[in-house]
Amino acid sequence: MEGEKVVAELLQSPMTLDYILATSAMAEKIKPLTSGISVKEVTEKNYAKISSLSTPPGIAALIKIPETKSFAAAKGRTWALALDGIRDPGNLGTIIRIADWYGIKEIFCSEDCVDLYNPKVLSATMGSFIRVSVVYTDLKKVITVIGLPALAFVMDGQDLNEVSLPYKGLIVIGNESKGISEGLKELCDYKVKITRLGAAESLNAAIATAIACERLVNR
């Protein structure tokens, strides 16, 4: 991960850092946080060569990918997200950021979702990947054992304004063009749609997630 802010966040998170690569100016700046971590200094010119950004920030951390967590029933869960086939890296990253904004700690992804460690996903999370657990697993299993009502967001569901909504649950969001897969949809307790007042045919998956969280979690 590149950038002063995200590296500072990583240093204060439970993530394991292999080492930090930094220009001498950046190494000095981040020094109060780096005790016990190897910091390799590089010249600005060399940093620019390995940077993936057009304005090289001069600092990057190599993080260890945590072991894949498996789904476990947990006490006290209120809201969680289930993502079925989200393929666009920007969408997944933005959804992680939204979850973090609303205090949602857990996202379950179907196995065909884009990988969390895709650089575009990590970058779109704006650092939120540190605080949100993302588990790739069988969503049918999650719905069956999580012990929360599952709310499928679909185009042909009941209007959100006309449903008595639960105060905790699993928000299920489908693929950008195909929506939620049939077998999964059937397992959901609620099939709801976001109220459309105009003419656009659909909303993108991250936008739909934001509206779902605002309506369900923020009340």
Under rule CB under 8 A, residue 193 binds its own copies = no
Q: How many CB atoms lie within 10 A of CB 151?
A: 25
Coil, strand, or helix at residue 123?
helix
**Dist CA 29 CA 5 (whole Å):** 11
Under rule CB under 8 A, residue 144 binds its own copies = no
Q: How many CB atoms lie within 10 A of CB 69?
A: 12
Site string for its own copies, 53-72 (x = CB under 8 A): --------------------
CB 141 within 8 A of CB 187: no
**Dist CA 55 CA 45 (whole Å):** 12
Under rule CB under 8 A, residue 119 binds its own copies = no
Between the CA atoms of 177, 181, 186 and 189, what dihedral angle is there, to the nearest 10 degrees? -60
**Dist CA 32 CA 48 (whole Å):** 24
Under rule CB under 8 A, residue 175 binds its own copies = no
Query: Nearer Cβ to its own copies, position 186 or 214?
Result: 214
Query: Nearer Cβ to its own copies, position 50 or 119?
Result: 119
Token pair recorded at residue 216: 């369900």
CB 114 within 8 A of CB 85: no
* Distance of closest approach, residue 89 Cβ to its own copies, in angstroms: 12
* Distance of closest approach, residue 178 Cβ to its own copies, in angstroms: 16
* Distance of closest approach, residue 81 Cβ to its own copies, in angstroms: 13
The stretch near its own copies (CB under 8 A) out of 42-50, 62-70, 97-105, 162-170 is 97-105
Under rule CB under 8 A, residue 123 binds its own copies = no
Pick the binder of its own copies from 17, 23, 80, 100 (CB under 8 A): 100
CB 109 within 8 A of CB 205: no
Q: Angle CA(201)–CA(194)–CA(96) in degrees, nearest 5?
A: 95
* Distance of closest approach, residue 11 Cβ to its own copies, in angstroms: 16
Under rule CB under 8 A, residue 116 binds its own copies = no
Under rule CB under 8 A, residue 43 binds its own copies = no
Pick the binder of its own copies from 1, 80, 205, 217 (CB under 8 A): 217
Q: Which residues bind its own copies (CB under 8 A)?
A: 90, 94, 97-104, 126-128, 131, 161, 194-204, 206-207, 210-211, 214-215, 217-218
